[in-house]
Amino acid sequence: MESEQNGAAFTGMSRHHRSAVTNRTKLFAIEGMDGRLGPARRFRDILEQIECDVGGHESLSEGQKQLCRRAATLSFTAECMEVDAVAGKPFDIDLFGQLTDRLGRCLQRLGLERKPRDMTPSLQSYLQAKAVP
């Protein structure tokens, strides 16, 4: 009855017997949470982008989906801290560093890697920049 997209545990289960979070009709299993508000939409955007980076929601195991949610939570929290910092509010640099480090480890566990770009200027552009007074 149910496709294998949702894993073996849900084979044969009707959508009506699964949670709204599993069916992707709700973001969280909390009554009264409005998923249409800005913060919830931003969280959903981050989550979908991370899932896309690792192959798309339908191709992920439940463990990978859970790691994507944790990575989205860490990323969203770090963004909120950045907003506070720019607004001149108190900023806990140690907590921000911990969040960033844990986000990096979470993304590594998902298989995402840092791909450095060569930022070395060409000889011609370097010489042109030096020649400008």
Q: Tell me, rounded to whole angstroms, the distance of Cα 111 from its chain centroid.
A: 13
Q: Is 71 exposed, middle or buried (0-12, 13-18, 19+ CB in 10 A)?
A: buried
What is the span of the domain harbouring residue 46?
34-131
Q: Is residue 100 part of a domain?
A: yes
pTM of the model: 0.64
Q: Is residue 7 part of a domain?
A: no
Rounded mean pLDDT of 14-34?
Answer: 56
pLDDT score at 59? 92
Total of domains in the chain: 1
Distance CA 127, CA 133 (A): 12
Q: Is residue 77 part of a domain?
A: yes
Q: Is residue 107 part of a domain?
A: yes
What the block records as the tokens of 90 is: 């108190």
What the block records as the tokens of 39 is: 């913060």
**Residue 117's pLDDT band (cuts 50, 70, 90):** confident
Nearest C-alpha neighbor of 40 from the set 72, 83, 87 = 72
Q: Could you report the per-residue pLDDT of 58-86, keeping only the tens digit for each? A: 899 999 999 999 999 999 999 999 999 99
Q: Is residue 13 part of a domain?
A: no
Higher pLDDT, 50 or 9: 50
